[in-house]
Amino acid sequence: MPSAVPQAAPPAAAPARRKPLLLHPAAKVLLFVAALLPLAWYVWGAVANTLGANPAEALIRGMGDWTLRFLCLTLAVTPVRQWTNTPALARFRRMLGLFAFFYGCLHFLCYAWLDKDLLLSDILPDIAKRPFILVGTLSLLLMLPLAATSFNRAIKALGAPRWQRLHRLVYVTVLLALLHFFWMRAGKNNFAEVGVYAAIVAVLLGWRVVNALRRKRATA
C-alpha cells in the first residue's frame, strides 16, 4: 500500500497583540488609586498627628495645593498627548479634571469645617471680606458646571460645540486658582512656589494660544 502523505501542520496562530499600557483597563484603576494617595497621606497624618504644629492649616493648604496640581495635570493632557504622539492620554483627562474638583471641594470643606466650624454666619462674611478667599471660591464654583457636564450624556445633550465652549471655563478656573494661591502666599512674601505654577500655567495656556493662532491663519 502506498504510504500516507504527511499532512502539513496547521499554521501557528498569530500571537494576540497586547494592548498598549495606557489603553489597558487597569490603567484607569491605577490612576484612580494614585490620585487618592495624597488624601490618604493627609488623613494618616491627621490621625498620627504628623502634620506639624497646625494640622488644620496643613490640611487646608494641602488640599488646595493638590487642586491646583490636578488642574495643571488636566490642562497638560492635550499638549503632552500631541508632543509625544500618545493619543491614549486623552482617556485620562476627564478623571484628572474630576479629581481637581474633588480636591477643590475638600479644600473648601477643610476651610469651612476646621477654620469656621461650618458656620455660614462666619463663612460668608469671611469670603466677602478677604479677596483671596473670594477668588478661590469663584474658581471652585466655575469647576461645578465642568464636573457636572463631564460625562458623555452631557456632551450629547449640549452638543459638542456648546460643550467645548463651556469647558473653556477651565482656563479661567486655573487662572483664578493661581491668583488665589498668589494672594495666599503674598501674606508671607513667599513667591517661589507660585512662580513655578505660574510658569507651568503660562506654558500650558500659551501653547493653546499659539495653536489657535496657527489654525486661524491656516483657515484664513
DSSP 91: G
Sign of CA dihedral 55, 100, 77, 16: positive
DSSP 191: -
pTM of the model: 0.88
Cα–Cα distance, 106 to 120 (Å, whole number):
17
**Beta carbons within 10 angstroms of residue 72's beta carbon:** 19
Q: What is the pLDDT along the chain (220 residues), one digit of tens a residue?
A: 444 445 555 555 444 455 578 888 899 999 999 999 999 999 999 999 999 999 999 999 999 999 999 999 999 999 999 999 999 999 999 999 999 999 999 999 999 999 999 999 999 999 999 999 999 999 999 999 999 999 989 989 999 999 999 999 999 999 999 999 999 888 777 788 999 999 999 999 999 999 999 988 888 7
